[in-house]
Structure 1
């Protein structure tokens, strides 16, 4: 297939693009700036929030894939959940329809629901609703916390622990996460593209390891060859008062949306494996492959 991809140069997008190429697909990527693409990859300069930039470039493809997403807003730069989750999805769907393309695959996020507290999850759900009501042959994938080389979250924790054996914990630290490797997410996207059984379905993707946050911190330290870090507790109530006043600072490490998503947990039942037919990479094994380099 020739696949048009928005978000194909980001962290997850690079893994998905590599897997699609490995499976023999041809790619047409929407990019902000042209680079030197590998063979079987075309590049189209444009912005996913400006359909006039890329609408015509979708023609001639067999499928459309939207991997665009942000975890933090910067309204002064026009980087908002509304624009990058909802409007971008509307633009991608419109371009697919105009080009007569039926197959459409969307990346969402585990925890997405209409009554979510976080704006991140609410806008992800609104984007999903656009996809569900599009009339296209759609599939939605909802990954949990994604880890792998160049990831943001585990990489940030590792950088902190390399500087000092201290890892502050907000609240109890007993909230659970079920991370999944970026290669496994990519494999699901590539498989879904050609599996008719996935049309009209939404899958929650998570790994096999269900870890408390405090245990995840210990696993990262162990992968670095370090002892378990000191974990000073930051009272949840106090952080809920402090973060709104500080989250506007770009270098401040957490927003209220991110805090909410962290403490409400990020786990799933793993039923996706029944459809896609493989076991995901373990968290400790996976981070050990790149944190020790």
Structure 2
């Protein structure tokens, strides 16, 4: 396996949010990138991230092993970015995040390629969340096939195309209320997508010890409520916060179970009960972004670059100097 520049790197799930940044980071370093996804036509937008011919979309589906084997032919390194937050049809947690990760790892082993697996903070075989259990099972499957693989567990990832801050900012345009499940006390360590992408590129180039699990978090630990307050400050709006107890949220999610594109699932409510921050063990063992010698970027530095469109008058609206959220009992003034 070649170590250094001009490797052939296969990105499974490379057409998604994180994938576009990983592809760009690898192209800037001179690598050839093969983007393996179910619909290659959805990856054509990535081709402008590299030079002519540097990025090649290819069809692959983790549920069909032959397509995985074909995608990794002659590869030097394989990166598995595939993950789902909610199940849909045949796209179950076990099929995608457990069996899919195993298929990619075994295919990479078959061609002698290195591997980087993207997991998530909170992956735990003993969790009550099926999402978290499948992530842990995927990690185990990868290490079983390739003991020297590298696994990255980011906290919540933010950036211009994210489905977190964009979703709640969009909601704030029409709704006078923003929900706080469980009171919004769950803690997160939001990490910028560009920092995660550069960390992935570093693992491809062997710049950090492999065979380890790295936990990637940004420079700030914030509660869900504090993240909402920061988002509202950036977009210059004030909205009421309404607390939804976990029990009520689970009931609501259960009632929405059969709706197409349900905004909340029971499994996601279970995830919200646990903090999503870098562990003390990872800090003590140097398994954080510090290992990549990278200064992570803050929410304050990045959010205004893409949430400006949600301000009342767009870029002509100045952000509020203070947090913009209002508790239900403190309802003075709505923008």
* TM class by smaller structure: over 0.9
In the aligned structure 2, how far is the partner of 1:165 from the partner of 1:83?
A: 39
- Quick one: which of 110, 129, 140 aligns to 2:121? 110
- Give the Å deviation of 1:226: 1.4
Residue 86 of structure 2 is aligned to residue 72 of structure 1: yes
Instruction: Give CA deviations for 1:122-172 in whole Å, capped at 9, x if unaligned.
Output: 001001001111135300000110111111111111110111332021222
Q: In structure 1, list runs of 5 or more residues that go unmatched.
A: none
In the aligned structure 2, how far is the partner of 1:113 from the partner of 1:65?
A: 21
In the aligned structure 1, how far is the partner of 2:93 from the partner of 2:182?
A: 26
Corresponding residue for 1:17? Answer: 23
In the aligned structure 1, how far is the partner of 2:80 from the partner of 2:227?
A: 30
Greater radius of gyration (CA): 2
Instruction: Give CA deviations for 1:220-269 in whole Å, capped at 9, x if unaligned.
Output: 11111213x20112222222333223223223311111112122121115
Residue 172 of structure 2 is aligned to residue 161 of structure 1: yes
Corresponding residue for 2:107? Answer: 95
Stretch deviating more after TM superposition (64-73 or 88-97): 88-97
The two structures have a TM-score, normalised by structure 1, of 0.93
Q: In structure 2, list runs of 5 or more residues that go unmatched.
A: 1-6, 310-335
Corresponding residue for 1:6? Answer: 12
Corresponding residue for 1:41? Answer: 55
In the aligned structure 2, how far is the partner of 1:218 from the partner of 1:190?
A: 33
Instruction: Give CA deviations for 1:168-222 in whole Å, capped at 9, x if unaligned.
Output: 2122222211111111110110112112542111001111111111111111111
Q: How does 1:117-128 map to 2 (within 5 A)?
A: 117-128=128-139
In the aligned structure 1, how far is the partner of 2:290 from the partner of 2:301?
A: 23
- Quick one: which of 297, 311, 325 aligns to 1:281? 297
- Given that 2:250 and 2:265 are in contact with CA atoms closer than 8 Å, whether structure 1 keeps it comes out as no
- Given that 1:108 and 1:143 are in contact with CA atoms closer than 8 Å, whether structure 2 keeps it comes out as yes
RMSD: 1.6
Corresponding residue for 1:244? Answer: 254
Residue 199 of structure 2 is aligned to residue 188 of structure 1: yes
- Give the Å deviation of 1:97: 2.1
In the aligned structure 1, how far is the partner of 2:168 from the partner of 2:176?
A: 11
- Given that 2:60 and 2:71 are in contact with CA atoms closer than 8 Å, whether structure 1 keeps it comes out as no
